[in-house]
Structure formats: C-alpha cells, structure tokens
Structure 1
C-alpha cells in the first residue's frame, strides 16, 4: 500500500490514529528541557464538585438551614478544626491531613463567575478573565515559556494520563502528550504500516498532502512511545491501590515518577460531580473514589521518598449553590475549595477562613482567593517560572509552599 493511501485510510491526515491524542500533542514533542526536578500532579474533578459537602462547615447553622436534607450530619463529619471537617467518604485522607501533607484553600474563584460547565472549565484551564477567550492553556503556556529558547530535547515534560488532551495542556507552540497506557502506545507505533513509514528513507511523497509534517509527527511519536514504555517498565509499583479507573491513573503517574521519566507535570481527571439530583449518594460515591485513590498515591510516594518532590493540586470548575434545590441536589455555583498535597507544604491544614455563608452574592459564595493566585504560587515557587510569563499579568500568589 502506498503511504498516501495509508494516510487516508487510517484518517491520519486529520490527526486521528487509533488514539487521536498521540498525533495532535506530539507535533510539539521536540521541546526543550526544563530546569528543576519537581513533579506537579493536577487533578480535575469534572462537573462542579460541591465544596460545602466536601469540606463541611459542620459548626455553621446556616449550612444546615440551607440544606435541610442534604447537609452532612455532624456525626458523619471528620473534624479538622472547630469549624470544618471532611465528608466521611474522605476518611482515607484524615491520616494524610494529620501528617501535614494536605492543605485546604477555601473560597477560591474569580471575578464575574460563569456557571456554564464548558466556559468555566475553559477559564480555569486557560487562566483567563471571565470575559477573555484564550485558545491555549496555562500549562501549555508554561511549556512555551520554558522551551522556546532551549534546544535540548525533553519531549515528555507534561503528560495527561488519558487518551485525549485537555485545553490546559495545550500551548501556542508546545503541547503535552496524552498517554493512558504506555504499552498500548508502544504497540500502536509498532504496527507494520506505522513502523514501515517511520523507517522509510524514501522522501518521494513528503511534500504531498502535508505528509512531511505528518511524517515528522510519526517519527516523534515512534521515539516517544519507545522512551515512555522502556523507561516506565523499569519500575513496578508495589503499593496497593483501589480497583478504580481513577486510582489506576494515579498508579500510572506513580510508575512514571518512580521510574525516572523526565516529566514535570501530570494531569488526571475524575468526572461525575454534576449533582443536581440526589446529591448525597452520587457525590459521596465519587468522593470516596477520589479520597481512597489520593491517599494511596500519597502513601506510595512517601514510601518511595518522592513525596517531597511532588505537589498535587485538586480543583473543580465551580462549586455549587449554598441552598439545596427541590431535587435533593445543588445547582451550579461559584467559589469552591482547592486541595493541595505534598511533602513540603509551608502551611498545611486549613489555609484560610471557612466560607462566609451569611454574606452571599445572589445565593452564591463570594470568592476570597483568585484561582490564579494559586497557579502563580505553583509557577513561581514550584515550577520556577515567573507567573507573569504564563498568566499574562502578575499575581501575588499565596504562602502554602
């Protein structure tokens, strides 16, 4: 079969090849190396997790008045201080919290919030203003800022453990790579047609149908798959993880970190948090999946002496309304909490005051911390890049690391 026919038959010309994310992000795999040796793990809770039923204000009467049937009972709360406690489904995190490896930042949001899942997620992933529309993500711009003047090769600086790439991971010049299963990626690139094209020295068709660009992409994919597979297989994770897909994603991140993969940023997601109806059961189930997996991950990294070099940040695109709806759920809200984990936290525990439930903005929490101040802290103090280069304006940041 001619290469031109192969491209057309496999839909490679449109960027889709078995696992479409391989080819779209890998166009920028030849990026320069970054300074520093710290790992950032970003966890996205998709759907708008209800922060008030996650980190529960169990001593606030307004909370129980507004949520007569879905409030977490005081007897089911795991106290963290005299005002807030963990949802009982997050019980696995209490040990992590007590050991000083967890920080909770309350009332995080942004001015003029948007309650659309898609728009608010875009805002969080691009770090834009609410009226600003950006086409590249904040981690993507971090890659751009660090790699544009560096010619050394380090093509695995950011990895999303999934088969698609989030907007957060796409820069104007550089992109991350999506890899859910390193062996599957490796096997895909060893298919006969793929392998023959990569090893072919005949350039007869390289300018035909943009094949030169695609040929380069395939070469980068081929070598990247080899590196990720052969590096990650040198380490076998011995820690016990729950048998959930989300836990398996974090187990894969642990394998990458402990094998010495030259990656700085990892991105994973857990969906199912859009709780308009019957919230307690649905959210409780997802929180348990989250808490059990994160606790296993943190303990794993502690055991392998990698926790001091790792920072984990959990966010959701918005919180929920303070008052429950008529369907025993909550509707889209605004400000929310962010959970941070790591072995080198300067301020573990509850970072700031509990959400103010008495002074609301049209029924919603008022944000007290701009989410970009959280990002600025991570950029400046963990990833060692001036946050203004990434966020397009300077943010003061916080003091949790």
Structure 2
C-alpha cells in the first residue's frame, strides 16, 4: 500500500533524497531531440558559469571610469575618490579602476584572467526589472509566454553531444528563466542535500516534485492532475524510459557530494560564496556540466548606495578570487568561462537620495582561461567606451549601450562551447564579434 503524504510538503530536498526522477536533467535523452548533430568543435570539457546580479548592478560603481572627465561631476557624493586617496579607486588602467570593495579583483585583471565589458545591454531597454531580466535571460524581444531561455535553447538545439550525465544546474532555490526549455535543468541549493538513500515516496508525489524541481509551467502541472491513473502511468513511463540515466545521475551527484573537497581559495561565508564553492566542486568533478547559473540579488540601490555597496560587492569579488584560485590550482581555468550579468546598469547621474536609478548600459565581468591573452598589458576592459559627456548620455542620464548582450552570448556559444549553428538559439540575430574570447 502506498504511503500517504502531503504532496505540497515534498520539497526539492525530499524529492532528491527520496526519488529517482532526475531523468529530465540527465543526458540520456536522444540527441535527435536536441535538434542537431552531435558534432562539436571542442574536445575538452567546457563549463559556462553565469552569475546573475539581480536588481540592476551599477557598473559605473564597480568598474569605475575615474579617468572620464565627466565622471565626478555626474556623481557628487557618490563618485569614488582618485587613486591614492583614502577609499580611492584601485586602478586597472588610466581610464578604469575598481571600487575599493572590489579590490580582490585587481590581481585577476593584472594577470589577464579577468576582463570587463562596459556599456552592455540591448536597444529596447524598458527599465523594468521584470521585463529586462526576462529579455536578458531569453535573449529575445517580444518573446511568447513560456518561451525557453537562451541557455535552454542551447541545451536543446546546440548540436553538442552531451558530455556527462547532467548538463545544467542552477545553484539556488529554483530554475532561472535562462535555463528553462525542452531539456530542463536541475536546481539545487547545496550539494550536501543530495543523497541516494531512502525509499521512493510514491509516484504521485514523485511526479509533482519532478515538476517543481524542473520548473515546468503551471498549465502543464494542472493538466497532469486530471487523472490519477494517467499520472501514475506517466511516472512509470518516465522511470522506465530514463531509468539508467536517472540512476547514473543520482549516483554521480551523490559521489560528488560525498567526495572531500579542500578549497584552494577563501570563499566568503555567505550564500554567494557557498554557491561559488559548489560551482568549483562541480567543475572539478568531471560530471561534464555545460552550464551552471548562480543568482546574487540586492543591486536595486535607489537610496544610500555607498553604505550598502560593500555588502554586495565584497563577497562577489572575494568569491570570484577564490573561484579563480581553485580553478588555477586544479588546472581547470581553460575549461571554465564565468560571466556576471545584470538586467541593466544604473543612471550615470546620482539621484537626490544618494543612490542611482534604473539605467541602460551595464558592465559584465568575464573570468576564465578563454579571455586570457599574454599581450602586455593583458586584455582588461573590452569594447568601445561611449564616454559620459552630456552629448553622449542616453536620455541625458544613462551610460549609452554600445554592445548588445546577444553578441556576448553568441561569442560564448561559438568560441567557447563550440556551437556551429546559432540559428535555433539566437534566431534572426547576426552577431558582431567582440574578440573577448580567444
């Protein structure tokens, strides 16, 4: 007799410990379903790590254009002081430097492991958090409701042969929009939540937990509730079809969770630091993961921006430095590309409450072996700088957008992940090379 339980109380942790329904994230799906050949231009394992800075990160306060003659006048009371002064900019070059809270990134810029891309966005910015996060994650304007994300489309249509039992993981409480698609990703908060021990808790609960864990839309979930017999039959079909892949994925994740991992860098003891540490473990595990996404929120700094900035940026910079130390120590730098993105930048002009409002051109940090070059000096800040002169500002208040985010996505997909045909992933888009990645 099946045990009775409250399906709504079966959260992701219980589901992962008590079921074998990881097949949706496993690479056992036929490659034909992914809409392409298995040809790949890369023989080595490659992992893209996306850190989404939610809320609209002020790129002008992170990678500071202190050498722009109009910078300080636009930000009275907020502009970072000159290099050499107390609390001053940590210089990268003669034009750009780092906010002192981000000083841990300075050696990464100097070594060529890290580069910044300023004035990034898209031409239809609405300044709405919801709309802009969706556009950055979908890489489409006016997308249909329920449309897959750009990384979800990559997983389904990239023409890349799966490199391991699990292709994509979101480190956090749910699957972000960018990873939604025909081949859903797995969301976990901590690796130590994973275990293969315990008994299955019933097929009804398993199917509902599967839907929640992989972020299927509500309409599909409601439709699946119409018939108890159909629901149980669907669960059995799923487990029969993908049982081997499911068990392999469970086993491999459990092995990673149980394998000792001694960090080579000092990760901040906050959620972002923990997730970057988990990302390092996953990259080093040889699972063959292609995509990891992490969210870091709190960047909607409308008021009193400076007092809260260190709490946002210090763990980010220290976490990226620790992640880099781990990748370098383990010989993994060439296998990883980490990108920080945010739905928009913030106004170049400070507002009346010591903060900044929703703006346009933002700043992306790109970290990893693929962006390194050995020129002198190394690549540091990439792309055209539109300047902060009054005639150059967008709507008289924003850094102008120069680089479309889809160009960065295109370069990531082709030069790093080895995608041959961008058409099903970035339809109607003709990319312009950024020459950020080698």
TM norm. shorter chain > 0.5: yes
Deviation string, structure 1 residues 61-109 (Cα, Å, up to 9, x no partner): 3221121011111131011111110111111111111111011111111
Return the offset for 1:25: 8.2
Cα distance in 1 for residues equivalent to 2:356 and 2:15: 34
Q: What SS does structure 2 have at the residue aligned with 1:186?
A: coil
TM-score by length of 1: 0.87
Q: What SS does structure 1 have at the residue aligned with 2:119?
A: strand
Return the offset for 1:32: 5.2
Return the offset for 1:275: 0.2
Return the offset for 1:116: 0.8
Cα distance in 2 for residues equivalent to 1:45 and 1:53: 14
Alignment partner of 1:40 is 2:48? yes
- Provide the residue aligned with 2:365 in structure 1: 339
Q: Is the 8 A contact 1:241 1:296 kept in 2?
A: yes
Return the offset for 1:191: 4.5
TM-score by length of 2: 0.80
Deviation string, structure 1 residues 195-229 (Cα, Å, up to 9, x no partner): 9999xxxxxxx971412333455657665333211
Alignment partner of 1:186 is 2:217? no
- Provide the residue aligned with 1:91 in structure 2: 103
Moved more, 259-268 or 28-37: 28-37
Cα distance change on mapping 1:352 and 1:28 into 2, 3 Å: closer
Cα distance in 2 for residues equivalent to 1:356 and 1:28: 44
Q: What SS does structure 1 have at the residue aligned with 2:302?
A: coil
**Equivalenced residues, count:** 383
Alignment of 1:222-241 (within 5 A): 224-239=249-264, 240-241=266-267
Unpaired segments ≥5 residues, structure 2: 32-37, 207-226, 374-378
Alignment of 1:185-264 (within 5 A): 185-186=194-195, 190-191=198-199, 193=201, 208-215=229-236, 224-239=249-264, 240-264=266-290
Unpaired segments ≥5 residues, structure 1: 199-205
Cα distance in 1 for residues equivalent to 2:148 and 2:328: 34
Q: What SS does structure 2 have at the residue aligned with 1:61?
A: coil
- Provide the residue aligned with 1:202 in structure 2: none
Alignment of 1:129-144 (within 5 A): 129=141, 131-133=142-144, 135-144=147-156
Match of 1:329 among 340, 343, 355: 355
Cα distance in 2 for residues equivalent to 1:20 and 1:367: 45
Cα distance change on mapping 1:215 and 1:332 into 2, 3 Å: farther
Q: What SS does structure 2 have at the residue aligned with 1:391?
A: coil
Q: What SS does structure 1 have at the residue aligned with 2:193?
A: helix
Match of 1:275 among 287, 295, 301: 301
RMSD across aligned positions (CA): 2.9
Deviation string, structure 1 residues 5-42 (Cα, Å, up to 9, x no partner): 55xx3239xxx644599699854534357754111111
- Provide the residue aligned with 2:180 in structure 1: 170
Cα distance change on mapping 1:297 and 1:21 into 2, 3 Å: farther
Q: Is the 8 A contact 1:56 1:84 kept in 2?
A: yes
Cα distance in 2 for residues equivalent to 1:328 and 1:255: 39
Moved more, 308-317 or 387-396: 387-396
Q: What SS does structure 2 have at the residue aligned with 1:387?
A: coil
Cα distance in 1 for residues equivalent to 2:124 and 2:383: 22
- Provide the residue aligned with 1:389 in structure 2: 424
Deviation string, structure 1 residues 288-332 (Cα, Å, up to 9, x no partner): 110000001001100110011111111111000111111110010
